[in-house]
Structure 1
Amino acid sequence: MPANGKLHLIFERDRETPDGACITIMRPTVQNPPLRVIRSFPVVEGGALAHLHNISGGVLGGDQLECQVEVKAGAYVQLTTTGATRVYRGSSVAHQLTTIQVGTGALCEYLPDAIIPYAGSSYRQQTRITLEPDAGLFWWEIVAPGREAFGEHFDYEQLQLETDLYAGEIPLALERIRLQPHQRPPSSQARLGNYPYWATFYICQVSAVDWLALEERLTQMAKTLSSPASVIWACSTLPAHGISIRALGKMGRALYDGLVEFWHAARESLYGSRSALPRKIY
C-alpha cells in the first residue's frame, strides 16, 4: 500500500565546547512512517550526523514522501542514507520532495548512497535547497541504471529528477532530468552514451570565495581522475557562490570514490579542514 511519509528535522546550535566549537543537536518535529531518523551522532567540529531511514526498505509505487531539513544559523550537519534508495515497481508514480534550508553561517553535507530504479518503476524526485549568507553546502547524487546484478539495465518506466538550488532568492542551479528508457534510449550519444551511471556534486558557500581558482584546481583533479574507459569528470563554476561537478561512469564505485576526493579537496579549500565520511548504521 502506498505511504504518505513525512520527516521534518531541525538542527541547531546547542552550546560551545572549551575550544570554541559549537555543538549541533537534532530536533525531530515530524516523523511519519516510512521516513525515520533514530538519533544523531556527534562528528568532528561539533557537528551532528543523521541517517535518513526508509523503514519500508525502499520507495514503493504511489508513495508520497516529504523530507524537510532546517539547519539553523551556525549549525553543522552531515546527512546520509543507510543504503541505496531502491525504487520498486508500482502501478503509479512514486514521488519524494526534499527541502533543505541552510541558515546563516551553517554547513550542510548531504552525502547519500545511489538511487537505484528497479524494473517497471516510475519515480519523481524534487529537491529544493536554499542557502542564507555565509552558508555552505556539499550535496551529491549518484544514479544507477537499475539492478545490474539481476540483469536490469534501464528497465524502469520513468525517472524524473528536479533540483532547485538558491542563495536567498537568487537561483544558482535549476536542473531538470527525465529519462524514459522505453521511449528514448539513455545509451544515445546525446544522453549517457556508454556510461550507465552518472553523478552530480554541488559545492557552495555564500561568501567571498575565489571560485575560479578552486575551479582550476578541481578541473585538474577531474583530468587526473578521468579515464574514458571507465569514468569522465568535469567541473565548472555556477553563476555565483559555487561549483558543479558532473561525472559519467561505467561502474558506480568509481563515481563514489571520485566524489569523496573532490569533497575532501573542496572542503579543505573552503573550510581549512577535512571531515570523515559518514559512518553507516543498518
Structure 2
Amino acid sequence: MALHAQLGLLDAAREVRDFQDEPAQMRAAAPGKVGELRLGFGMRGGRSVLHDLYRVAPLLVQRALYWDEAMPDLPICSIISVGGGILQGDRYKIDICVGEEACAHVTTQSANRIHLMDANYASQHQTLTLEAGAYLEYLPDFTIPYRDSRFINQTDIVIAEDATLLYGEMVLAGRKHHHESERFGLDLLSVAVAVRRPGGRKLFAEKILIEKGDGSVDLPAVMRGYDAFANILCLTPPPIAARIKGRFGTHFPAEAPRAISGVSRLPNDAGLMLRAVGMETYDVRREVRRFWQIVREEARGQTLPQDFLWR
C-alpha cells in the first residue's frame, strides 16, 4: 500500500476528526514533516544482515551494529529522529521486514517525545513482516506525550507461524516531574495493532485509546495511580509461549509495589501479552527486561547481556 494511502487511513480515524485544522507554521504532511523508514533483514553468507535501507528525514538509521555480546550474530539498528521529537502535522511510516531464518533487534535512540500541539495531530503507521523462522525484537523506548499532544499509531503485523516477534509500547503518563498538569494532560493517544498470517488469516486486533479528561485511566483495573505502563506482545509458536508463561509468572507484591506485571495468552494461539504498570520508567523497564530475557532464552537459546549502567 502506498505511503499516502496508509497515512490516509489514520486521517479517517474517528478519534482524530476534531483535529483536522492546519498548523500555522507548516501544513500537515508537508515536505520535511513526512518521515519514512524501511529496514529489510535477511541471511547473507550464513549471517543476518541489514540488506535493505531506505530513509527519509526526520527518521534515520545509519547502519546495523553487532554489539550484543550474548547474541553476537544479532544485527542491531537504532532509529534516530533528527527532528527532536514528534510535532503537530508530522506523519511517520516505518516498515520492517525480517526474511526467512534471519534475526534483528530494532530500538530507538531515546524516548519518543510528542510535543504540545495547538493544531492538527501527529500520526505513525508501522508494518512488521516476519517470514518463516524469523526472529525480531522491536522495542522502542518510552513514548512521552506532552500536555495537549495528539498522537495516533497503527501497527500492522504479518508473521509466519514459526516466527517469533517481541514488540510493544512503553508509555509514560507525561512530563510528570515538570508540572502536575502534564500527567495525562494529553488530548489524544491512540495505539492500535492488528496481526495476521501471511495467507491473510486474522489473529487479533487491539487498540489502547486515551483521551483528555478520561477519569477511567486511574481505575484499579487500568493504571491504578501508576505513571508508566508497557504493553508488550510476544508472537511465537504455542510450545514456546507455554514455556515462557510458565517461567514468568505474575508480579503482584502484597505491599506497596513499585510495579505490577502479568502475562496472558493471546487469541488464536498467537502468543502472549505482557502488561506492566509502574511508578517510574525504570520500574516498568525491569519487568519488560525480565520478560524479554525469558523470551530470548526460550525462542533462541541465548540470553541477554548485562544491562547498561545508565538504564
TM > 0.5? yes
Tell me how far 1:133 sits from its aligned partner: 3.3
Task: Verify: 1:139 aligned to 2:167, yes or no.
Answer: yes
Per-residue displacement from partner, 1:55-92 (whole Å, max 9, x unpaired)? 10111111111011111111110000000010012211
Task: Verify: 1:260 aligned to 2:289, yes or no.
Answer: yes
Which residue of structure 1 aligns with residue 38 of structure 2? 8
Distance 1:225 1:67, change over 3 A: farther
Tell me how far 1:234 sits from its aligned partner: 1.3
CA contact (8 A) 2:126 2:156 kept: yes
Task: Verify: 1:126 aligned to 2:126, yes or no.
Answer: no
Which residue of structure 1 aligns with residue 298 of structure 2? 269
- Indicate the RMSD between aligned Cα atoms, in angstroms: 2.3
Tell me how far 1:185 sits from its aligned partner: 5.3
Which residue of structure 2 aligns with residue 195 of structure 1? 226
Which residue of structure 2 aligns with residue 107 of structure 1? 135
CA contact (8 A) 1:98 1:128 kept: yes
* TM, length-normalised to structure 2: 0.80
CA contact (8 A) 2:101 2:132 kept: yes
Tell me how far 1:242 sits from its aligned partner: 1.0
Tell me how far 1:276 sits from its aligned partner: 3.2
* TM, length-normalised to structure 1: 0.88
Per-residue displacement from partner, 1:179-218 (whole Å, max 9, x unpaired)? 1132545224464221222111111224x51534432322
Tell me how far 1:226 sits from its aligned partner: 7.9
Distance 1:185 1:236, change over 3 A: closer
Task: Verify: 1:148 aligned to 2:176, yes or no.
Answer: yes
1:32 corresponds to which of 46, 56, 60: 56
Task: Verify: 1:217 aligned to 2:241, yes or no.
Answer: no
Task: Verify: 1:249 aligned to 2:278, yes or no.
Answer: yes
Select the structure that is richer in strand: 1
Which residue of structure 2 aligns with residue 173 of structure 1? 204
Which residue of structure 1 aligns with residue 111 of structure 2? 84
Distance 1:135 1:121, change over 3 A: same
2:83 corresponds to which of 48, 53, 56: 56
Tell me how far 1:270 sits from its aligned partner: 2.5
CA distance in 2, matches of 1:139, 1:145: 20
CA distance in 1, matches of 2:230, 2:306: 18
Secondary structure of the structure 1 residue equivalent to 2:217: coil
Secondary structure of the structure 1 residue equivalent to 2:45: strand
> How many corresponding residue pairs?
271
CA distance in 2, matches of 1:226, 1:5: 45
CA contact (8 A) 1:226 1:232 kept: no
Distance 1:9 1:86, change over 3 A: same
Which residue of structure 2 aligns with residue 20 of structure 1? none
Structure 1, unmatched stretches of 5+, are: 17-22
Distance 1:59 1:246, change over 3 A: same
Secondary structure of the structure 1 residue equivalent to 2:223: coil
CA distance in 2, matches of 1:72, 1:14: 11
CA contact (8 A) 2:64 2:77 kept: yes
Q: How does 1:221-232 map to 2 (within 5 A)?
A: 222-223=250-251, 228-232=256-260
Task: Verify: 1:73 aligned to 2:73, yes or no.
Answer: no
Letter in 2 for 1:118: Y
CA distance in 2, matches of 1:108, 1:188: 34
CA distance in 1, matches of 2:34, 2:42: 27
Letter in 1 for 2:290: E
Tell me how far 1:143 sits from its aligned partner: 0.6
Structure 2, unmatched stretches of 5+, are: 1-25
CA contact (8 A) 1:126 1:163 kept: yes
Secondary structure of the structure 2 residue equivalent to 1:40: coil
Distance 1:122 1:265, change over 3 A: same
CA contact (8 A) 2:252 2:260 kept: no
Distance 1:182 1:241, change over 3 A: closer
Letter in 2 for 1:269: E
